[in-house]
Amino acid sequence: MRKPRIIIIGGLSAGPSAAAKARRVNENAEIILFEKTAHISYATCGIPYALSGKIQSRDKLIVVQPDQLVKRFDIDLHLNEPVTDIDPNAHMVYTHKGAYQYDKLIFATGGRAILPHIEGIEEYNNWAHAKTLEDFDKIMKQDVVAKSDHITIIGAGLIGLENAENLVKIGKKVTVIELGDHVLANWDAKFATMAEKVLIDNGIDLRLKTSVVGVDATTNELILNTGERLYTDYTLIGISIRPNTEMLTSKGAEHLPNGALIVNEKMETSIEDVYAAGDCASIPHKLTGESGWFPMGTHSNKGGRTAGANAVGGESAFDGGYGTAIMKLFDFTIARTGMGPKELKRKGINFKSSFSISGTTPGFYPDQKDLFLEIYFDPETKVLLGAELMGERGVDKRVDVLSTAIYAKLTIDDLPKLDLAYAPPFSPAKDPVIVAGFVAGNSITEGYQEVSVTEADEIFSNPNISNYIILDVRNPSEIHKNGLIEDSINIPLDDLRDRLSELNKHKHIFVYCAKGLRGYLSSLILLHHGFENVSNIGGGFTAWDKIIQKSVSLELD
């Protein structure tokens, strides 16, 4: 009986995962893997940390050595042999060395870094992408880390900012250039603004709404769309990637607008006997039911594993993802899961949001840190749709809890019922996830409205809207120390019941405190005393100061 032949194209992440799983499922299959370079299975996400020396050896980036794949899993490995064409009808794969027939094909070609149009880039040698091991080797060969004082990074996504942080930490002057209004385009502007402040506070020269339109190779100057010429020793380009799928899309494979191949839960493409996994493929979006593109190593491994099992006769399914991501940003961590407001609005999905600030440890435990958390949920079913969060400690734990909650289709009412671990070094008795559930639930059931600081700022900045009062319920000493929102009146929470006559019941009352709790309590007092239009500003003055960054000082008598 002839052995089934499985051909895998691509050796970075999804391909080796597919090969290893296929072998574990079927010992008798012939498995051939083609890789266009000399390397397989290395950690692209570790490159920024290798540049700074946090990862001290290039060898540490190699996850699986070629010999291990050959000997342990009996894979016929073809390095430095790029596939040049595929004939799906004949089930043939072509390289410069020959033609190979397959029974099942796994397409795991990943994506390539995008190079924007920059006039003169062809004559400019002092630049690189920071995506592949070949990119890393080029940077090391040019001795960039030792010879460069100033490095410019084009693109303020995850990889761009990770490179920026690592280069700053080894003493480099870093400029980050981003065409968009904010860094980290997948996050809401509130969180992007906080991230930008962290970058600037750590010495990064951040240029938003800016692009590089040309380069003068004779002077090492980048020419910006503003007309400015920026001298730099070296440039790293990390804008985004484009799926490497032309060999199959040209044969009629169904794909997303960016070229990512559309697959089902078995990782099957629209072409018979062809699977796809990794950055070249979409996966099901668990929240919308549509195909989504999430170029992350987690999905590459899962997708490759699923494709490998099914290609040799197994029964496996990968039912998709929903955009969970996290990154370290100096002393802070920023994360997200599910759908944020940008995607929800773009898809026309009705949602409500709730913003909270909670300590990641109890107030009595030393060195408490704040966690900024916003959750998005269906206002009718209360099912959690997404979350974004940022803080100095404990972000990773909370985003994984919230990701699990989204997977399980939990509601905001379910969050406070979770039995989460508690001990003072790790969490307060009311964990930030628990608090987020309480805050969201209260905003629905207790009659007051919650508004974000950005929504409040839009109202306060509109000269055509004036029938409101901004009520600060903090103590005067806090205002003297930290400032306040312009045009606020101050009535401390503990004095509020005795001074209600100072407020006009016919006006919209916007209440805020330091972080939200006293604003919530004040909102309830106002409602109980006949004030009908009351809004608590989520996150209070702390969120206002970090996100809106417009406050005024008040000198006490």
d(C-alpha 483, C-alpha 551), whole Å: 6
Question: Measuring CA to CA, which residue among 531, 511, 529 is closest to residue 520?
Answer: 511
d(C-alpha 520, C-alpha 62), whole Å: 52
d(C-alpha 332, C-alpha 148), whole Å: 27
The token pair at 401 is 């809890």
550: number of CA atoms within 13 Å, CB side? 12
The residues that are catalytic are 45
What amino acid is encoded at 155 in this protein? G
CB 208 within 8 A of CB 200: no
d(C-alpha 543, C-alpha 350), whole Å: 24
Q: Which residues of 349-384 are buried (b: 16+ CB within 10 A; e: fewer)?
A: eebbbbbbbbbbbbeeeeeeebbbbbbbbbeeebbb
How many helical (H) and strand (E) elements, i.e. helices and strands, does the chain have?
16, 30
What would the DSSP string read from start to end of 166-232? HHHHTT-EEEEEESSSSSSTTS-HHHHHHHHHHHHHTT-EEEES--EEEEETTTTEEEETTS-EEE-
**H-type helices in 53-101, by residue range?**
66-73
List % helix, strand, coil for the chain (3-state, nearest 5): 30, 25, 40
CB 357 within 8 A of CB 372: yes
d(C-alpha 448, C-alpha 452), whole Å: 13
Q: What's the residue count for the chain?
A: 557
